[in-house]
Amino acid sequence: MKTDIVILAAGKGTRMKSALPKVMHPLAGRPLVKHVVDTASRLALSEQPDIHVVIGHGAETVESYFAGTDVNLVYQLEQLGTGHAVAQALPVMSKDGITLVLYGDVPLTATNSLESLLEKVTPTSMGLLTAIPASSKGYGRIVRDEAGRVTAIVEEKDATDAQRNIKEINTGILAIESRHLHDWLPTLSNSNAQGEYYLTDVIAMAVQAGLTVETVNPNQIEETLGVNNRLQLAELERFYQRQQADVLMTNGASLADPARIDVRGTVTTGQDCDIDINAVFEGTVTLGNNVSIGPNCVFKNCTIGDGTRIEANTVIEDAVIGTSCNVGPFARVRPGTVLEHGAKLGNFVEIKKAHIGKGSKVNHLTYVGDTVMGEGVNIGAGTITCNYDGANKYVTTIHDNVFVGSNSTLVAPVTLNEGAFVGAGSVITKDIPANKLTIGRAKQVTIDSWKRPVKDHK
């Protein structure tokens, strides 16, 4: 059966005190509403659902974010209430399927909670996600009869004192046959304390029509928490990060402190990886077996081979690091870098778009860019590949077993042939032959007639 998933995201989010629409604020590097869309698309459904996001405040920002995706955007020009918001999607919703309503600012609902909720939808019943939070303040309360059957939701502002004492609250998330929404939403009234068209009034209508309202509870309360301000955003970020840390540890990685790791993408770890504090992972990162990571490292879209050690304060982006390598401390590995087995990058080394062959070493204070380097090469401290002439970039080619003395400048395009030896302090502008010592620096002279200057006394 067709499922329409309607994500409400038209509200302003005044308490964020931000120029950015609330649902575009990032959690773990992804906008809140993207988490909800991703959850919706991961649901186990017999048919691909249609995902509709209802937007209003800051619509252009949300619109450009989802441009070119399957997400269908629906405009709610005036925010007249949650019922009115869902009603804006009716023209594009199927009449004979199921509708699931989600919220763009409730980012962490688990797929299994939503799948359980969808199972409650039959021709004679609907599903409602409810919870019992520490405080029910601000939420709609779930009203039940003596037999425990749900009869209505009453908003806090419309509630009697007795109803305010009800602990069970409406998370807002519900699932129901779409035909009912087509029938009922156009008939909603806004004569209530807030003058809004409440989606929650659908519950009483369902009961009136003889449907049972089946409730489902989330496994963890955080699944249903919304973000209204930056404090709540930070709390959910920590909750999410702790979940990611737990997955890594469950899969066999050791974390120095599960409260000090940030996964803003996907990380896969092999066996016995050791991750020290303050690691940040973005995009897709894959660690092999026995990878060890020092404190304060940042990884973005990279692969680290078995047995490799990344030392403290290293940043690696769009790179492939081979097995048994050593990188850092304080290394910056930029896009397009490949390190073969056993290669070493030391401190204050920057590598960009370079292929570093097996066992080659770039150990200190060096820039290597646009370079193809063979095996067993040793690059001395302070070496710079001059890859850019201000207009174009050129390649430096360094063959196997080359030794470059400290503080050398390799002006590309240039080739250092196999086994070549470059004297320290050389400026290399022409290709150099194999297995010979090349020195490109001024000859050292001593001036015998020189006298130390003395101060003038006037």
In which region does residue 402 sit, left (phi positive, over 0), alpha (psi from -120 to 50) or beta (all else)? beta
For residue 232, state whether it binds ligand UD1 (rule: CB under 6 A): no
Selected range binding ligand UD1 among 41-49, 115-123, 193-201, 358-366, rule: CB under 6 A: 193-201
Using the minimum distance from each CB to ligand UD1, give the nearer residue, 132 or 247. 132
Among 3, 11, 50, 176, binds ligand UD1 (CB under 6 A): 11
Which residues are paired to 72 by β-bridges?
52
3-class state of residue 433 by DSSP: coil
Among positions 82-101, residues that touch ligand UD1 (CB under 6 A) are: 82, 84-85
Question: By CB under 6 A, is residue 8 in contact with ligand UD1?
Answer: yes
Among 5, 6, 10, 128, binds ligand UD1 (CB under 6 A): 10
Nearer to ligand UD1, 74 or 261 (CB): 74
Q: Write the Ramachandran bin of 255: left for phi over 0, alpha for psi from -120 to 50, otherwise beta.
A: beta
CB of 321 to ligand UD1, least distance (A): 42
62 binds ligand UD1 (CB under 6 A): no
Contact region with ligand UD1 (CB under 6 A), list: 35-43, 116-124, 168-176, 372-380: 168-176
CB 381 within 8 A of CB 364: yes
> Pick from 5, 54, 121, 233: which binds ligand UD1 (CB under 6 A)?
54
Q: Which of 107, 140, 359, 374 binds ligand UD1 (CB under 6 A)?
A: 140
Catalytic residue, from 57, 364, 399, 457: name it.
364
Q: Which stretch binds ligand UD1 (CB under 6 A): 41-49, 166-174, 249-257, 431-439?
A: 166-174
Block residue for tokens 């120095």 = 256
103 scored as a contact of ligand UD1 (CB under 6 A)? yes
114 sits near ligand UD1 (criterion: CB under 6 A): no
Q: Would you count residue 34 as binding ligand UD1 (CB under 6 A)?
A: no
Choose among 97, 103, 88, 106: nearest CA to 188. 88
Shortest separation between residue 78's beta carbon and ligand UD1, angstroms? 8
Residue 218 makes contact with ligand UD1 by CB under 6 A: no
State the Cα–Cα distance between residues 384 and 377, nearest whole angstrom: 15
Binding of ligand UD1 by 438 (CB under 6 A): no
Report the alpha-carbon angle 262-268-274, nearest 5.
70
Q: Where are the alpha helices (DSSP H) in 130-278?
A: 161-164, 178-184, 201-208, 230-250
Say whether residue 116 binds ligand UD1 (CB under 6 A). no
Which of 21, 49, 104, 405 lies at the binding interface for ligand UD1 (CB under 6 A)?
A: 104
Quick one: tokens of 114? Answer: 């939503």
What burial class does residue 363 get, using C-beta atoms within 10 Å of its C-beta: 0-12 exposed, 13-18 middle, 19+ buried? middle
C-alpha 20/C-alpha 218 separation (Å) is 29
Query: What SS3 state is found at 301?
Result: strand
Assess 79 for contact with ligand UD1 (CB under 6 A). Answer: yes
The count of residues interacting with ligand UD1 (CB under 6 A) is: 27
Tokens of 358: 């097996």
H/E stretch holding 280: strand 279-287
| Residues 392-431: x where in contact with ligand UD1 by CB under 6 A, - otherwise, as a string | ----------------------------------------
Contacts of 146 (CB under 8 A, 6+ apart): none
**What would the DSSP string read from start to end of 236-278?**
HHHHHHHHHHHHHHHTTEEES-TTSEEEEEEEEE-TTEEE-TT
457 is catalytic: no
Which positions are catalytic?
364
Positions that interact with ligand UD1 (CB under 6 A): 8-11, 54, 76, 79-82, 84-85, 103-105, 139-140, 153, 155, 169-172, 198-200, 226
